[in-house]
Every structure is written in structure tokens, then in C-alpha cells.
Amino acid sequence: MLNLLEAIPQIAAMVQNQTHFRQIIREKLDLAMEKIQLYDNNYIDLLQKLCGEEQRFLAALPTGKITDCFWVKDIQEKATVVATDGSQIEPSTHEIALFYMINIAVVSLVYGGTVSPSPRIEPHLFYDEKDLYIEEEHHISLINARQLAQKRSTLEKQALKEEVLKYVGREEPLVGLTDGPLLDLNQSQKYQYDLKEKIEVDDLLEMGKKYHILIAGYISATRNTALVNLAKLSLCPEAAARCKQCEARKQKRNACRVLNGLNDAQIIERFLPDGARSTVFYLINKIPTQISETDIGFFYMNTGREIARIEAPRYVLENKEMLECLQGVLLQQIRLGMGYPAVLSQAHEYAVITGKEREQIYKLLQKQMIQNGVEIKLSQKQLRKRRPIG
């Protein structure tokens, strides 16, 4: 039970703090923009600071002027757009059995064509020991939320790859969208990718390149800081940034600390008009030697409602016609979805496992266990939750 009377003054204090915080953010943005504009034409010199040892952050490598803005002449209305999304029931040690379920939904929409929407919903149930327990650094533990999200993402890419292949050969552009990054970067593991997900994404992008499919990941409410980190590099007094050895950072008096709390969307919003996209960026934590055709880059787009981050492979980003087509398709989808791509909204609706559906899964499981003579046990905590006190 929540004591609202006690919470009200705390909420009022938070609002007061937010007012002060927003002023601080504006001042930080002014500084970040000053540094970005200063290095807008010679950012390569700035990136030389990454020649030190492994960095603690990723920086954005621009392929053009950072403050450039790009529009499309026409909204792309005639296109086949395929999107995928997923949700899950996480494993609970308090329930009658240990398992997790991942539900994947794929939606295909054809505008200007004759094919009707064809949602596909695929539930995946995992209960084997090899799926439930993960071995990491000499210890075994129950799969956690991050690992489960990576597994779900891998299944989403598999489903997307299978679905887009059905539309190869059509005259109109073919676009494959994911809700979120194409490949999730695990910052807790020194910016490494999950191997299985990386393999699946590589396969998806190789297929996309072969059949000229516009593969992209749409990230709403992005909190990425790669561009902020580029501004932070300009504040570093060292010739080569060595964050791990930085004594000032350890004492919390490092120069770049002044930009903490900012994200890229706040910077991009300063100069990117509605409907326009930014230049293309690539993520780096060292001076790149070569970028492959299927390496993933990104750009920002002002949807009129927010600054969205769009990830795509190099074969799309460095092909002017494909890049403009992707921007046009996304703008059309955003208009249809009133601020968010319509096809992704539909995929989300089909993928969500509702509370009622979760209860049905547990009831079906319980019924099957009773019919097969399997003993049912609930934890005392779960029993207490299901039985009223008194």
C-alpha cells in the first residue's frame, strides 16, 4: 500500500529539482554544441585521441559534417515493409515450473500493392537445463534479463529474415525493420556482442545485401551518447584519451565530466528540423582501419515527435538511393502511425503477452502436470500472494 500523503511533498521536490536540472542541461548543451561546431570540419584530428588503449566509451565517427541535414523529395508510399517484435514471460523460481516463453510477431504491410497484412505469431517455450542456465566465467546461473533479451533479439532476426525472403522479387522497395538496435552492444562486457545474435544479424545483412533489402533498426526514445562522447574528447587535455588511467576521473574532477547527463538526441534536436535526417555515423572505440559492407552505422531523424535513431548496414547507408528510400519509407510509416512507425506498432501489439494470457499459460501448465501425475509445488512467497491475509 502506498502512502500518497507522504509521497506528495517528495513529488513536489522532484519537480523543483527538474526545473533546476533543465537549466543545467541547457548550459551543457551550449558547451557541447560549441565543441561540436568547433571540430565540425576537422573531427579526424579529434578522433586521434582514440589512438590510446581500449576506451571506456564509444564515440561517433561522422561520415560528413556533423550538423548537416538531409531531406527527401518524396514520401515513399509504395513499399513492402516487414517488421518484427517480441515479448517474454521470464522464468520464476516461485512458480510451479521453471521455464520462460518468448513470443515473436512478424507483420508485413504492402502500400500501393494488393497484398493484405499477414501477421505471424510464434511462441517459443524454453524449459531444458541448457536453455535455463548460462555458464559464464566459471559459474552457472539462471538466465538473466539481459541474456533473455539477447535470445529474444536473435529470434526476432531469424523471423525477419524468413519473412522478407517471401517478398524478394517484387517491384516496390522492400524494407525490414526491427524494434530496437540491429545488434545490441553489451557495455558490461567491454562492448562485445552476443555471438549467436551477431551470427544471426550477419546472415540477415548478407541476405539483405544480396537482394537489395533495406534492413534497419528503429530506436525510439534513444539515450545513446556516442556524439556526446565526441564532444567529451574535445575537453580531454591529454593527447590520447586514457580513461582507465585517468587520475582526474578517479577523483571525479575530469574535464569531460561537465557533459555527463547529456544524450545525442538532445544535441541533434538543436539543429535537425522536422522530417530531416542527420549525417551517417559509425560507432568506434579506436581509429577504424576498414568498415565492411555489412558493418552497422546509424543516423538520427526528426520525426516531428522525437529524435529517433535509425541503424542500418553500410550497403544501405552509403547508397544514396537506398538511404533516401529508407528515410522516405520511415516518414510514411511515422505519419501513418501518428509519430511511430505503424508496422512496428502492429508488430508490438501482436507480440505482447497480456496478463490474462500469462495466467492461461500457467493454468494450462498446471492442468497438464496434474493429468500426468507431476507434483505441483509453489514457493511460500507465491502461495502468500495468492491467498489473502486474514
Average pLDDT, consecutive stretches of 10 residues, N- to C-terminus, the chain (390 residues): 93 92 94 88 76 66 92 87 97 92 95 67 96 86 93 96 94 95 64 71 95 97 92 87 82 91 96 96 69 78 97 96 96 94 96 96 93 80 56
User: In terms of DSSP bridges, do strands 79-89 and 100-111 run parallel, antiparallel, or are they unpaired?
Assistant: antiparallel
Name every residue whose Cβ is closer than 8 Å to that of residue 182 and which is 6 or more positions away in sequence.
201, 205, 215, 216, 217, 296, 311, 312, 313
Q: Could you tell me the CATH number of the domain that includes residue 338?
A: 3.30.420
With respect to residue 61, please indicate whether it lies within any of the assigned structural domains: no
From residue 330, alpha-carbon distances to 119, 296, 325 in Å are 20, 18, 9
Does a structural domain hold residue 175? yes
384 belongs to a structural domain:
yes
Sequential DSSP letters for 9-55: HHHHHHHHHHHHHHHHHHHHHHHHHHHHHHTTT-HHHHHGGGGSS--
Query: pLDDT value at position 117?
Result: 62
Judge if 84 and 132 occupy the same domain: yes
Q: Which long-range contacts (CB under 8 A, 24 or more apart) does 380-388 make?
A: 381/94, 382/92, 382/94, 382/95
Tell whether 333 and 384 lie within a shared domain: no
Question: Is residue 172 located within the same domain as residue 201?
Answer: yes
CA dist 180 and 221 (Å) reads 10
Is there a domain that residue 17 lies in? no
Selection from 331, 333, 314, 334 nearest residue 322 by Cα: 314
CA distances from 229 to 44, 53, 138, 279 (A): 14, 16, 34, 17
Q: Which residues have a Cβ under 8 Å from the Cβ of 281 and sit 6 or more positions away?
A: 60, 61, 62, 63, 226, 227, 297, 298, 299
Q: Which three cell numbers stand for residue 268?
A: 541533434
CB atoms within 10 A of CB 105: 24
Do 210 and 135 share a structural domain? yes
- Strands (E) in the chain, as ranges, are 59-62, 79-89, 100-111, 120-126, 133-136, 139-142, 174-179, 214-219, 281-284, 296-302, 307-313
Bridge partners, residue 123, by sequence: 103
Do 80 and 159 belong together in one domain? Answer: yes
> Would you mind telling me the total number of residues written for the chain in this entry?
390
> Do 106 and 153 lie in a common domain?
yes
CA atoms within 13 A on the CB side of 122: 17
180 is a domain residue: yes
Q: Looking at the structure, do residues 340 and 373 belong to the same domain, yes or no?
A: no
Helix (H/G/I), strand (E/B), else coil: 81: strand
* CB contact at 8 A, 198 and 296: no
Integer Cα distance of 151 and 134 in angstroms: 12
In contact, 67 and 267? CB cutoff 8 Å: no
Same domain, yes or no: 332 and 190: yes
Residue 47 falls inside a structural domain: no
- Is 258 domain-assigned? no
pLDDT of 189: 43
Q: What is the distance between the alpha carbons of residues 106 and 306, in angstroms, rounded to a whole number?
A: 25
Instruction: Please say whether the dihedral angle defined by the alpha carbons of residues 165, 169, 170 and 173, taken in this order, is positive or negative.
Output: positive
Q: How many domains does the chain have?
A: 2
> Under a CB-based contact definition with an 8 Å cutoff, are residues 358 and 72 in contact?
no
217 and 361 assigned to the same domain: no
Residue 245 lies in a domain: no
| DSSP codes joined into one string, 332-388 | HHHHHTTSS-HHHHHHHHHH---HHHHHHHHHHHHHHHHHTT------HHHHHHHS-
Let me know whether 338 and 382 are in one domain. no
Q: Which three cell numbers stand for residue 329?
A: 519509407
What whole-number distance in Å separates Cα of residue 376 and Cα of residue 25? Answer: 54
CB neighbours of residue 279 within 10 Å = 16
Residues 384, 309 share a domain? no
pLDDT, position 386? 56
For cell 497484398, the residue is: 115
- pLDDT for 110: 82
Residues 81 and 157 in one domain: yes
Structural domain span for residue 363: 356-390
